[in-house]
């Protein structure tokens, strides 16, 4: 059972103000952080690059490629910031170079491309598709639909239809398992990535997708909330990067531990709780997660087994982990919640260097969410 959601109240919490931070300083931090990621005046922190007046991409600086993860993230950031030109340039680049119109994965987007647009792979990553879809719905509702690829709502609905119906004509694989309604790591495998689970997105897909698909998305939201709870360790709250459908870690290629992908689980729980206050939202996972990190030195974050045992390997994206632990505070309370937000506030704005892309995406999403600016954009009346 849901309490009154922000869809009806349009009242988003601003944790920074609740914890006593200055509104003017917050507004400056948000504006400057956007500029540092999206403007060429800041080459040490920039992750968005304009190719022409209507083409631009988000660069994974650690791997020197363009990924659907980053492109869809950039679109979500742009629609939240009311930056239509940048939104359209990223979407145009995605359609021009990443979209696949033939072969087993026709209708999906190639998960990795070179900066010249050539495909590094011909397979998709479902976290990109789900972010593309909701960013497109929000764009439709905030700015209105245009023509062609800028008919945002149709693009979103068509993409979601492909994601769940592909394979019914033996033309490839769907991105969600049709029986258990859980998102796959990639369409051709039968296991998941807990950080891909976005029940708060699926709630909105259940409102705005093609009518015949809406029941699926409602069931997917319910299934994902339960899955997130199962995949997290019962004591530490840590989730593996890959997990089987029963929630147990999948250690293929060493991805059964708490590492970079896993950080996003805290964000997804937090935003789901902020948007819908569903009683099934596993906020206890975030409470345990913040308790686990309460006595950890941010300069010494590691890769961990989900039971909390540390590896020698340091965290590849420590700023991202600081950011996601802070965003978790939208669903928690008390000393640990405030401690995480304070640490985030006092972390230098955005990261420089080769590995800055993933950290800075998580940093900016957390900044949006904690300031009440990661919003649901409803259809225009």
Q: How far is CA 51 from the centre of its chain?
A: 25
Both tokens assigned to 276: 């819908």
Catalytic residue set: 69, 261
Q: How far is CA 303 from the centre of its chain?
A: 20
Supply the angle between the helices 356-370 and 318-327 in degrees, to the nearest 10: 20
d(Cα 127, Cα 176) in Å, to the nearest integer? 11
- Residue corresponding to tokens 């149709």: 154
Alpha helices in 277-350 (DSSP H): 283-293, 318-327, 335-345
d(Cα 373, Cα 381) in Å, to the nearest integer? 21
CB 192 within 8 A of CB 132: no
Give the CA angle between residues 127, 369, 21 to the nearest 5°: 155
Q: What is the DSSP string of 202-213?
A: HHHHHHHS-GGG
How far the first Cα of the chain sits from its last, in Å, is 27
- CB within 8 A of 302, min separation 6: which ones? 310, 311, 312, 313, 314, 315
* SS3 of residue 7 by DSSP: helix
d(Cα 34, Cα 351) in Å, to the nearest integer? 13
CB 276 within 8 A of CB 2: yes
Measured torsion, CA atoms of residues 332, 333, 334, 338, in degrees rounded to the nearest 10: 80
For 228-259, b/e burial (b = at least 16 CB within 10 A) is: bbbbbbeebbbbbbbbebebebbeeeebbbbb
């Amino acid at each position: 059972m849901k309490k009154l959601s922000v869809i009806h109240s349009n009242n988003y919490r601003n944790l920074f103000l609740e914890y006593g931070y200055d509104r003017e300083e917050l507004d400056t931090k948000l504006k400057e952080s956007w500029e540092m990621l999206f403007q060429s005046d800041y080459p040490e922190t920039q992750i968005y690059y304009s190719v022409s007046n209507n083409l631009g991409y988000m660069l994974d600086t650690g791997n020197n490629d363009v990924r659907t993860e980053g492109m869809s993230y950039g679109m979500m950031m742009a629609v939240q910031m009311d930056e239509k030109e940048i939104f359209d340039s990223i979407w145009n680049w995605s359609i021009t170079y990443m979209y696949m119109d033939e072969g087993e994965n026709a209708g999906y987007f190639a998960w990795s491309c070179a900066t010249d647009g050539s495909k590094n792979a011909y397979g998709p990553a479902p976290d990109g598709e789900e972010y593309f879809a909701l960013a497109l719905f929000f764009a439709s509702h905030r700015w209105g639909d245009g023509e062609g690829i800028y008919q945002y709502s149709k693009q979103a609905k068509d993409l979601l239809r492909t994601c769940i119906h592909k394979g019914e004509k033996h033309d490839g694989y769907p991105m969600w398992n049709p029986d258990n309604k859980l998102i796959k790591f990639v369409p051709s495998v039968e296991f998941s990535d807990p950080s891909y689970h976005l029940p708060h997105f699926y709630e909105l897909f259940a409102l705005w997708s093609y009518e015949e698909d809406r029941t699926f998305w409602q069931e997917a939201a319910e299934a994902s909330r339960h899955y997130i709870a199962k995949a997290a360790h019962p004591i530490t709250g840590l989730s593996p990067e890959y997990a089987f459908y029963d929630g147990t870690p999948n250690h293929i290629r060493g991805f059964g531990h708490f590492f970079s992908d896993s950080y996003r689980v805290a964000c997804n729980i937090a935003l789901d709780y902020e948007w819908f206050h569903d009683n099934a939202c596993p906020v206890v996972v975030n409470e345990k997660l913040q308790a686990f990190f309460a006595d950890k030195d941010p300069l010494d974050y590691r890769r961990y087994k989900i039971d909390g045992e540390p590896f020698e390997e340091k965290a590849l994206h420590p700023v991202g982990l600081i950011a996601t632990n802070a965003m978790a505070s939208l669903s928690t309370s008390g000393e640990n919640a405030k401690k995480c937000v304070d640490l985030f506030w006092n972390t230098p704005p955005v990261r420089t260097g080769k590995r800055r892309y993933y950290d800075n995406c998580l940093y900016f999403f957390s900044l949006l969410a904690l300031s009440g600016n990661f919003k649901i954009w409803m259809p225009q009346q």
